[in-house]
Amino acid sequence: MDLASKISCGIDNVKYADKGGTDPWDQKKYLNIWVCNLALDVLGEQVPFVLGFAYPPVGAPLFPPGSLPEGYEVNDGVVIHYPVFGINNPGIGTLAGLNDKGRTCTHEVGHYLGLRHIWGDGDCTVDDGIADTPDADDSSQAEDPTITCESLFTKNTCSEIATQFPDMIENYMDYSKEECMNMFSQGQINMMRSMLEGPRAELVGLPASIGSVEKDGFVIFPNPTGNELNISYNSPVQYEIAILDVLGKAVFNGRSDVSKIDVSGLNNGVYFIQILGENQAFSTRFTIQK
């Protein structure tokens, strides 16, 4: 289903409180993810309308003029059908064995960062705009959970094209069995990075100097910092503290008796600090700039 059809049928209502959904946080500064029911009742059975969808950044070069509906940017964000969100979701039902690895969200974030489907949404004559992804006649839509990944590795739907490699069924931007998915190509990585350095730059960028961040009684300073990050808050409750890099990898873990964190060993860039208590959570970004 194309993006214009999704909008016309009201599938974006989940993003509006006055339409029964939830309003987004600032879409220029946050990646919003809505997890909801995207199924329709068909003869008494819940049939997924789609498993997820997302819109690319304004100006994403892989989407030609006219391929996106006018005004789509106001609906920016990612929407995921709840049974396929996360790994081994207990609500997975009939999608078990096909969509139970949480990679629907990975796929949709790929769209959010400017990627098209691996088959270019067309036949062998249509390209996805990424040089190192082989052409394919269509998606590798999996319908039988018993099919093994190994049996698909030699699948080549565009074999009549000279020097054509097999379909990249292991790519996150295919529709293949999620167990088979494990990679983005280097060209896709470069495209997503260019979106994060261009139209999505506010997601990871911070002003050059904002001094400190204060929220919910917590104060983090200085920001940016070069060697040391200070934490100030007044609470008798014990908290867990974690610092994550932009890939979500924990680079520091500690407890609430820590008031200063040595970050001198970390590279320049944007990081996230999370302070988690039993009934309260604080999270914000900070920059290391030496």
Active site residues: 108
Contacts of 266 (CB under 8 A, 6+ apart): 245, 251, 288
Q: Report the half-sphere exposure of 184 (CA within 13 A, side-chain side).
A: 21
Give the H/E segment covering residue 31: none
Structure letter (DSSP) for residue 133: S
**Can you say how many angstroms the Cα of residue 214 is from the centroid of all Cα atoms in its chain?**
27
Q: Which two tokens stand for residue 234?
A: 């007044």
Yes or no: say if 49 and 39 are a contact pair by the CB < 8 Å rule. yes
Neighbouring residues of 77: CB distance < 8 A, sequence distance ≥ 6: 15, 24, 27, 31, 32, 33, 34, 54, 55, 112
